[in-house]
Structure 1
Amino acid sequence: MARLIGHAALAGLLFLAGCNSSTQPTTATPDTGTTPSVTRETATPEAETPPVTPMPAQTVIQSQPGPDGSQVDLMKVAVTGDILTVTLRCSSSEKINSESFRVPSISVIDDATAQRIAVLKDNEGNWLASNVGGDAIMAQCEIKPGVIWAKFAAPSPQSKTVSINFPGVAPFDGIPVTR
């Protein structure tokens, strides 16, 4: 029986020796009688992200003089579904120049039918336009341009152009509609 236990012990030692026979050297840690501690690694910073590429400047479709020496640039006239969105940019050489445009006076004219289209309202009766206070769009027409927009019912599909009217701004006539 002692011989059988000796063979089993020898087989166990050979098995353990085979498990440690990797190509990497191992180091024994002295038994200090303490619980092993956690080793923390310092996180390496992520690779730097590339710099943000600025968006290309939007093309101005048409510019018109606005109130108090401001300039109003038509930036976009596009139909999505049954909605026409008109986006404008207002700027001035003055440091402080705020303008207001009465929403009931803003309109789009369908050039094919001569029909006047007013700014849309949502289900609660609010104008579908930017920066509305009361019944006026408030625009910051300063050195740094302010963007304003309004939504209208889309003109007929046969209409290729529209005319846009904002109070105090010269009209934007014959503007192509993007569909």
Structure 2
Amino acid sequence: MIRPTLFGAACVLLLAGCGGRDEPAEPVDPVAEAAAARAAPSTLAAQTTSPPVQGPVAGAIQTAAGPDGAQVDLTRVRVTGNVLTVELSYRPVGNATQWVYLDADEVSVIDDTTSQRYGVLRDDANQWMAAPLQSASRDRLSVQLRGGRPGVVWFKFPAPPASSPTVSINIPNVSPFDGVVVQR
């Protein structure tokens, strides 16, 4: 049995249109075409057998090189009220367990318009507004990357003025994230 394909249906319509007749072509059922296209074997899929390349996390704003070959995805830069929240996702290389340590006082955001540098905020109890904080040292953050799964870390900063559309984010041992648009 010959099955129609999307390509075949398009060729038939094209050839029918070239026949010199003044009669309109029959309407095509898009649902039937889509079903026929799914049923037909794809020669392109059979030709592409190389493994997928691990790229940035879906929704990543920017990606940078991190410590020990890890990749760091900037996933959120958003102002709520007077606070700027920055969220990062660390992706390890392979399935080995890795630990990433960050000193909160070394993390900063720079307002690209005024060159003003902002450090991580502290709460009323003088604790960093960041997570995950290491329990032994409340000044250090630790992220465990285990089994190829990413680890997430976030920070809170004073918000730059609304007249500053972009910031640059500096994280120890990570290439800088420059010219990042601030969501408001």
User: TM class, shorter-chain normalised?
Assistant: 0.5 to 0.7
Residue number among 117, 121, 137 corresponding to 2:141 in the alignment: 137
Q: Deviations over 1:37-86 (max 9, x none)?
A: xxxxxxxxxxxxxxxxxxxx740100001111111100000000000000
Q: Secondary structure at the match of 1:68?
A: helix
* Partner amino acid, structure 1, of 2:84: L
Structure 2: distance between partners of 1:169 and 1:93: 15
Q: TM-score, with normalisation over the residues of structure 1?
A: 0.67
2:136 maps to 1:162: no
Structure 2: distance between partners of 1:137 and 1:155: 24
Counterpart of 2:120?
A: 119
Counterpart of 2:87?
A: 87
Structure 2: distance between partners of 1:139 and 1:93: 14
2:73 maps to 1:73: yes
Shift of 1:136: 1.3
Counterpart of 2:10?
A: none
Preserved CA contact (<8 Å) 1:90 1:140: no
Superposition misfits of 4+ residues, deviation over 4 angstroms: none
For the pair shown, the structure with the greater C-alpha radius of gyration is 1
Shift of 1:119: 0.1
Q: Secondary structure at the match of 2:131?
A: coil
Structure 2: distance between partners of 1:174 and 1:145: 24
Q: Deviations over 1:86-125 (max 9, x none)?
A: 0000011242011101110000000011000000000010
Shift of 1:132: 1.1
Counterpart of 1:59?
A: 59
Preserved CA contact (<8 Å) 1:70 1:92: yes
Counterpart of 1:38?
A: none
Q: Secondary structure at the match of 1:59?
A: coil
Structure 2: distance between partners of 1:175 and 1:157: 14
Structure 2: distance between partners of 1:117 and 1:141: 28
Shift of 1:160: 0.1
Q: Deviations over 1:127-168 (max 9, x none)?
A: 000011221111123410011100000001100000000000
